[in-house]
Amino acid sequence: MRLPTNLICLTLSVLPSVIAVYSDEAYSVDYHHELLGLPLPHTTFFYRPRKDDKASLIYTLSDLGVLGAVNPGVGTVVWRQLLADYEGLPQPGFLRPIEGENTVVSAIGSRVDAWDALSGKSVWGTSFEGAARDVEVMEIAAGSTEAKDVLALFEEGGTTYLRKLKGTTGDVVWEFKDGSVDTPLQVSTNVRSVFVVSLHGSSSGYNLKITVLDPVTGKRTTEYTLTTKLDVHAPEDVLLVGANSAAPIVAWADKAMKTLKVNLLGKPGDIQSLPLKDSDGAIKKVELHAPHLVQSLPHFLVHSHTETSNRADVYHIDLASGNIKKAYDLPKLPGQGAISVSSQEANVYFTRLTQDEVIVVSSASHGILGRWPLKLETAQGSLVHGAAEVVQKSSDGYAIRSAVLTTEQDWVLVRNGAESWVRPEGLSGVIAAAWAELPESENLVKNLEVEAESNPVSAYMHRVNRHINDLQYLPQYLQALPRRFLSSIIPAEIIAPKIGVLTKDSFGFNKLVIVATQRGRIYGLDAGNQGRIVWSATAFPQSEGRSWDVKGIWVENLKGQTTIRGSDGEYVIVNTTSGTKIESVAPGSWPTLTATALVDSTSGKWLLPIGIDGNPGDIPSEWAPKDTIVVRSGNGEVKGLRFEPKTASPNSEPVMTWSFTPPADQRIIKVVSRPAHDPVASIGRVLGDRTVLYKYLNPNVALITAVSDEKLTASFYLIDTVSGDLLYSVSHEGVDTTQPITSALTENWFTYSLWGDITTDLSLPSTLKGYQIVISEMYESDVPNDRGPLSYHVNSSSLEPSDIPNADPSLPHVVSETFLIPEAISHMSVTQTRQGITVRQLLCTLASSRAIIGIPKQILDPRRPIGRAPTAAEQEEGLFQYTPNIEFDPKIILTHQREVIGVKDVIASPAILESTSLIFAYGVDVFGTRVAPSAAFDILGKGFNKISLVATVAALWVGVVVLAPMASLFPY
């Protein structure tokens, strides 16, 4: 019975299937920057997941709260976990390896988790009230086989909690609660005691309080205070609390950066002063590096930076006497440098990277163990900090790998001085992005516009002139001709495409994406070339703990300029293709803004800033927008503004024309409008009996989402944004307002998803809840072949909908349907095509699946017949029977195997091909692809064999040439 199975398999394989990404398109049309965020100095380290194996991985908990392991050999991500909810900047995170146990422990926010270091799977995880302030691995006496326990320091409402968690399960062994109101800073331990370091006092000047605990019982043994003499004002002022070393220390610098004060933990009243040398200029920054292993020698290094140079001093701690004495120093070198510490058993190595070389020294003596010239292939800026791994190969041979972060926010692995790989981690944390056309053929567009507007004769002359002018490019054109021929037959990649050259293609796939990150950097990515970084620049560097709040990106394709506006009034204008700054205005020069709008005024288009409370302020009349501006104001309303000229003033002032306020207990969480590019090819929907349901195509509509946290409702209001009229509203009960509620509005339909009651029978109280997506289509009338109250009017006005004065607006007829979905949708957007002929696809971000899916509109159709098979007419319309749930079939996942984390937004752009829409998703990661919602009907697939076609034609031609003389020999 083998034949039938084979036959079935064959038949099934022949059947066409509707899939989002064809297997031969995966990894070629889509691109993904798998990013972590900037590695932080205290949470980045090399660590061997397998005790006996020499192979190690780089672990980091980044500034975005992404925990990841990176293969140091090739720089690929081994595994990642997003530990922070991606809402602004995450809370500080802590990461420690457990030596010899294949586990790393992380603490961020309220959670403490242990992860399998090799696979990234969760070993255990617990959460507590309050926020984590530190986590430390509890060292145990040598020889013990038990799993090492974890100390977690939490701050909860001003109270310090220290909990010892069982290394195997995460259960709490003991809990220590500090009664006084202090700011917990760090926990440190040697084998004998546990030290909790906290800031005691007020922000005008803290003292350091050290509480010593018994590691077995968690009872307080002693407690002492170090007087800092007003040197410590913030947690950042304490430089180091030497973690798990044999002699943990706490150190801080005095205000003038002249001396460094050090206390060995456990020795009350013993503050040793170490001088900080500053030969050229004041010391700007002091860093301390100490080993983290209890078996390592108690040595530490003080790295001091001035504006122009850096130097380092190595100190030894005498364990018996508790004295600190200087061993040697590393000479002053110009520029910035990065020093990292690594320990191998008792030996401690310091690795120093400067602009031009890498040196390794042992902590014991100043002899240089290895020295390599530093060769970075691309200009990376200066080095910020690094993590290093030193391996002793022979008695005097050392190998060093160092993962360094540069000021250009690239993460570079330097292996024995040579650059091994570069990860563009600065590209993570994108907060805004916009599509940009390649400017190459914009000239042609301009010319064509000129020709279209002038009279036929002059247009003809213009065109002839243009063609004569084009003749100078003929040699280049002829040179490129063979390549063009070849590339249309053989896949273009084979004939060495020119890397680094931005060329516009005839399909419109090559576009740029301008992105701005929360750290104040901007990048230009080539969407047609696997998302390659074309340029990057620093726009406005952000201080630590602050995120750049970009309010608008405006790409002027004709001028080749991009304007990026931030919330503090700063803006930068850059060249779209090169990233060179044209104009930059520092924060504070303009008033604070909450949004921007691209408006059309008599003086041209410009990006209008909207100030606090939705007030754009007075504007010179020639720059005043002609149209109504719809803004959100601070007190939870949406309002429409028109600019009216002021009397006796050249300025215009905004006048409120309407405002929409939801009921008192509701707050507006989201407002969406139709996309700027939203063409509609057909204004009606043809039914099975060939009658037409006319779509309600008002361009000026907005969908407002308002939730009530007390009544657990979510209400959706569809308003006309010119008149402010309420067109439609719907409310859902039993909604969890903390879950994501998203919405999208396009063409004649809107959709939203939420977690709430599933109402099947309205008479019964609902007990079922779930994630649901609701699709609503708007029509001009519920009767086919009827264009509603406006009938055959050519124009529509929202202010005066009909000839009758003060008539009601023509309301849309709304058809809705609800579908259950398996998981929450965190963001929605819609594909865009050039003319809107192609059916739209709803792009949904699934945060928990780390995926982006494209739900076809055919599935999301409120007209699907319920509880019966479709009639012949309905089948003709393309309707199939309603099923209450939509399964997220792997075939509709646009990201296929890729895991895209922290997606904030998905933007779409039309290609020249009508079938195709370009998609770009950003957030922590950057992902881009192309989708063809109605299949790629206007382009040949990769499976089309052009070579065999050409060969067939050529063979036929040869046959004709050979046979024609033979045939002519015979008269008939």
- The tokens for 785 are 């072949």
Contacting other proteins (CB under 8 A), which of 215, 625, 812, 870?
625
Query: Cα(244)–Cα(138) distance, rounded to whole angstroms?
Result: 8
Residue 553 binds other proteins, judged by CB under 8 A: no
x/- map, 636-665, other proteins, by CB under 8 A: ----x-------------------------
Minimum CB separation of residue 784 from other proteins in Å reads 8
Query: Cα(228)–Cα(242) distance, rounded to whole angstroms?
Result: 18
Minimum CB separation of residue 706 from other proteins in Å reads 14
Residues 6+ apart with CB under 8 A from 236: none
Please name the helix (run of DSSP H) or strand (run of DSSP E) that holds residue 693, with its range, or none.
strand 692-694
Is the distance from CB of 853 to CB of 892 less than 8 angstroms? yes
Q: Which is nearer to other proteins, 528 or 616 (CB)?
A: 616
| Footprint on residues 720-739 left by other proteins (CB under 8 A) | 721-722
Listed residue (507, 509, 518, 510) closest to 540, CA to CA: 518
Long-range contacts of 684-688 (CB under 8 A, 24+ apart): 685/779, 686/877, 687/784, 687/873, 687/877, 688/871, 688/872, 688/873, 688/874, 688/875, 688/876, 688/877
Listed residue (688, 684, 686, 693) closest to 871, CA to CA: 688
Residue 564 binds other proteins, judged by CB under 8 A: no
Contacting other proteins (CB under 8 A), which of 71, 691, 729, 849?
691
Residue 403 binds other proteins, judged by CB under 8 A: no
Residue 718 binds other proteins, judged by CB under 8 A: no
Residue 899 binds other proteins, judged by CB under 8 A: no
Query: Cα(25)–Cα(933) distance, rounded to whole angstroms?
Result: 15
Q: Which is nearer to other proteins, 291 or 614 (CB)?
A: 614
Q: Which is nearer to other proteins, 534 or 672 (CB)?
A: 672
The residue to which tokens 């030193």 are assigned: 390
Minimum CB separation of residue 839 from other proteins in Å reads 17
Query: Cα(906)–Cα(902) distance, rounded to whole angstroms?
Result: 11
Q: Which is nearer to other proteins, 641 or 855 (CB)?
A: 641
Residue 692 binds other proteins, judged by CB under 8 A: yes
Listed residue (345, 320, 341) closest to 330, CA to CA: 341
Is the distance from CB of 651 to CB of 620 less than 8 angstroms? yes
Interacting span for other proteins (CB under 8 A) from 390-398, 463-471, 511-519, 628-636: 628-636
Contacting other proteins (CB under 8 A), which of 241, 293, 631, 706?
631
Q: Which is nearer to other proteins, 661 or 766 (CB)?
A: 661
CA distance readout (Å), 697 to 511, 628, 810: 29, 18, 12
Q: How far is C-alpha 909 from the chain's CA centre?
A: 18
Is the distance from CB of 657 to CB of 642 less than 8 angstroms? yes
Q: Which is nearer to other proteins, 709 or 800 (CB)?
A: 800
Q: Which is nearer to other proteins, 244 or 596 (CB)?
A: 596
Residue 683 binds other proteins, judged by CB under 8 A: yes
Residue 342 binds other proteins, judged by CB under 8 A: no
- Core vs surface per residue 357-367: b (16+ CB within 10 A) or e: ebbbbbbbeee
Interacting span for other proteins (CB under 8 A) from 52-60, 247-255, 382-390, 683-691: 683-691
Residue 135 binds other proteins, judged by CB under 8 A: no
x/- map, 780-809, other proteins, by CB under 8 A: ----xx----x--xxxxxxx----------
- Core vs surface per residue 649-665: b (16+ CB within 10 A) or e: eeebbbeebbebebeee
Q: Which is nearer to other proteins, 618 or 627 (CB)?
A: 627
Polymer length in residues for the chain: 972
Interacting span for other proteins (CB under 8 A) from 110-118, 225-233, 572-580, 687-695: 687-695
Contacting other proteins (CB under 8 A), which of 117, 550, 608, 846?
608
Minimum CB separation of residue 482 from other proteins in Å reads 43
Interacting span for other proteins (CB under 8 A) from 119-127, 285-293, 516-524, 594-602: 594-602
Count of residues that interact with other proteins, criterion CB under 8 A: 47
Listed residue (381, 709, 716, 332) closest to 537, CA to CA: 381
* Gap between the terminal Cα atoms of the chain: 57
Interacting span for other proteins (CB under 8 A) from 205-213, 269-277, 694-702, 812-820: 694-702
Residue 698 binds other proteins, judged by CB under 8 A: yes
Contacting other proteins (CB under 8 A), which of 226, 431, 595, 900?
595
Residue 628 binds other proteins, judged by CB under 8 A: yes
Is the distance from CB of 904 to CB of 431 less than 8 angstroms? yes
Q: Which is nearer to other proteins, 529 or 796 (CB)?
A: 796
Query: Cα(727)–Cα(779) distance, rounded to whole angstroms?
Result: 12
Residues 6+ apart with CB under 8 A from 664: none
Give the binding site for other proteins (CB under 8 A). Answer: 595-599, 608, 610, 614, 625-632, 640, 671-673, 680, 682-684, 686-687, 689-692, 697-700, 702, 721-722, 784-785, 790, 793-799
